[in-house]
Amino acid sequence: MNAARSAAPGSVPVAPEAVAEDLPFEAALAQLEDIVRQLEKGDVPLDKSVEIYERGEALKRHCESLLKKAETRIQRITLGSDGQAASVAPLDVE
């Protein structure tokens, strides 16, 4: 079976669960949104629905991973009593 199955125009290409690690967040999110639209329409055959749902799950995990990586890169700079940068700490987003 072909690794990436051909898709109808305007639909997400269905591929194995693996998502390319270099797939940018915006592209992954766009594919995920397209999958949601297809599934919400309800006119996709059951077997195809399962395939694109699985692809959506993989894309969701990929997006979550990219967001987590970005979150760990964001840091809060703490200032010492002299007003100079003293240290960095994880940014408290809550």
Q: Is residue 6 part of a domain?
A: no
pLDDT tens-digit profile of 62-72? 999 999 888 77
Lowest mean pLDDT, pick from 4-8, 18-22, 41-45, 83-87: 4-8
The whole-model pTM stands at: 0.63
Using CA atoms, how far apart are residues 90 and 79, in angstroms rounded to an integer? 14
Q: What value, to the nearest 5°, has the Cα angle with vertex 66 and ends 8 and 20?
A: 45
- Provide the residue range defining the domain that includes 60: 25-90
Summarize the confidence of residues 30-50 as an average pLDDT.
95
Number of domains in the chain: 1
Summarize the confidence of residues 71-93 as an average pLDDT.
72
Percent of the chain's residues with pLDDT above 90: 49
Residue with tokens 């009593």: 81
Q: Is residue 13 part of a domain?
A: no
